[in-house]
């Protein structure tokens, strides 16, 4: 069976050409190379565009999709999901431009989903990798969230854990999940777009975490998203994160969910002695999120599965 024939990949990039080159090199050595790799270029201002144009000429499997402006990671993953879905692929692998998959990383996700479906008759909504930092530790910002009965199907022969959400760093999504639940929310720009999306599609059935599938995330520091870390340099990111998560909580959990989130943010910022002016910016973003309700774009049902 040719398991590669219905597989596409989406990589979103912006001004990180040196790291992107390492990602492309890692993809070229995959034991299960997608038939098409859509590299979504968020209007990079370095040499990314010219390099990708040449790459596409040399190897048509790699498609350079240049956007007219930078619409953030969320917008990039929306565009990539849309293009890959419209071209008819059954599985789409999403990842970032600074995450290097080990040679069998994608194959283990795809065979994991198929094996799980065959053994247990359930259809996982996604399959995600173990994301390591550059020193081999688990990458704090990319650790998936497990569900209450996460070890239900685990055994040495079936090394899968049930998870309710994960990041867009090495996650495989089947076509049916996109058709049923729609595309990522492009208006989020950055932060929480992956958590929102994977929680949304997991309403059908949880995803599976495949610890044998490994990618290395080349980020400067191994830190998770914690509001105790808010400072002048990163406040712009935390504003997006606060707005987006508040929007999700309001939609899915009502005002009670927003209140729980806001209390947790308040506690973390107090613990980190975050400047009061920055705390006010985060609270404002949470309040804005309560009325921020961008539409979920769904594919044309006539495109089929």
CA angle 233–129–86, rounded 5-degree value:
90
Find the radius of gyration of the CA atoms of the chain. Answer: 19
In this prediction, residue 5 has a pLDDT band, given cuts at 50, 70 and 90, of low
Alpha helical stretches, state H, the chain: 17-28, 48-58, 72-86, 105-120, 175-181, 193-201, 235-271, 276-289
- CA distances (Å), origin 188, targets 24, 194, 266: 26, 10, 22
The answer on pLDDT for 302 being more than 70 is: no
The answer on pLDDT for 1 being more than 60 is: no
The model's pLDDT over 213-255, given as tens digits with 9 standing for 90+, comes to 999 999 999 999 999 999 999 999 999 999 999 999 999 999 9
The model's pLDDT over 195-216, given as tens digits with 9 standing for 90+, comes to 999 999 999 999 999 999 999 9
Sign of the torsion formed by the C-alpha atoms of 271, 191, 206 and 13: negative
Sign of the torsion formed by the C-alpha atoms of 159, 138, 197 and 266: positive
Total residue length of the chain? 305
Contact 103, 145 (CB under 8 A): no
Reported pTM: 0.94
- CA distances (Å), origin 100, targets 29, 35, 97: 11, 18, 8
Mean pLDDT of 251-272: 98
The 10 Å CB-count burial string (b at 16+, else e) for 153-192 is beeeeebbbbbbbbbbbbbbbbbebbbbbbbbbbbbbbbb
How does the average pLDDT of the chain come out, rounded? 96
The model's pLDDT over 165-191, given as tens digits with 9 standing for 90+, comes to 999 999 999 999 999 999 999 999 999
With pLDDT > 90 as the criterion, what percentage of the chain qualifies?
95
pLDDT score of 185: 99
Task: Name which of 155, 150, 153, 179 is nearest 165 in CA terms.
Answer: 150
- Set out the domains of the chain in order of their start, with CATH numbers: 7-223 (3.90.550.60), 227-289 (no CATH)
Please name every residue paired with 94 in a beta bridge, in sequence order, or none if there are none.
Answer: 10, 171
The model's pLDDT over 68-121, given as tens digits with 9 standing for 90+, comes to 999 999 999 999 999 999 999 999 999 999 999 999 999 999 999 999 999 998
Q: The tokens 């997006």 sit on which residue? A: 240
């Amino acid at each position: 069976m040719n398991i590669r024939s219905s597989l596409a990949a989406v990589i979103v990039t912006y001004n990180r050409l040196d790291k992107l080159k390492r990602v492309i090199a890692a993809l070229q050595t995959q034991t299960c190379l997608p038939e098409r790799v859509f590299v979504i270029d968020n209007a990079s201002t370095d040499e990314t565009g010219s390099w990708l144009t040449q790459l596409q000429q040399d190897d048509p499997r790699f498609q350079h999709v240049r956007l007219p402006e930078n619409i953030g990671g969320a917008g990039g993953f929306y565009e990539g999901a849309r293009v890959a879905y419209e071209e008819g692929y059954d599985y789409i692998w999403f990842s970032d431009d600074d995450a290097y998959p080990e040679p069998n990383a994608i194959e283990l996700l795809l065979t994991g989903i198929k094996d799980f479906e065959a053994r247990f008759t359930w259809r996982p909504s996604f399959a995600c990798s173990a994301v390591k930092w550059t020193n081999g530790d688990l990458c704090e910002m990319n650790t998936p969230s497990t569900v209450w009965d996460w070890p239900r199907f685990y055994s040495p022969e079936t090394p899968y854990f049930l998870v309710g959400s994960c990041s867009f760093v090495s996650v495989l999504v089947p076509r049916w999940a996109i058709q049923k639940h729609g595309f990522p929310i492009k208006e989020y720009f950055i932060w929480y777009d992956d958590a929102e999306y994977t929680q949304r599609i997991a309403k059908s059935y949880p995803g599976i975490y495949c610890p044998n599938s490994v990618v290395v995330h080349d980020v400067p520091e191994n830190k998770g998203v914690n509001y105790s870390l808010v400072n002048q340099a990163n406040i712009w990111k935390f504003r997006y994160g606060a707005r987006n998560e508040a929007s999700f909580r309001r939609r899915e959990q009502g005002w009670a969910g927003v209140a729980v989130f806001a209390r947790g943010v308040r506690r973390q910022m107090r613990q980190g002695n975050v400047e009061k002016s920055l705390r006010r910016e985060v609270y404002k973003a949470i309040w804005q999120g309560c009325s921020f309700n961008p539409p979920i774009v769904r594919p044309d049902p006539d495109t089929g599965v």
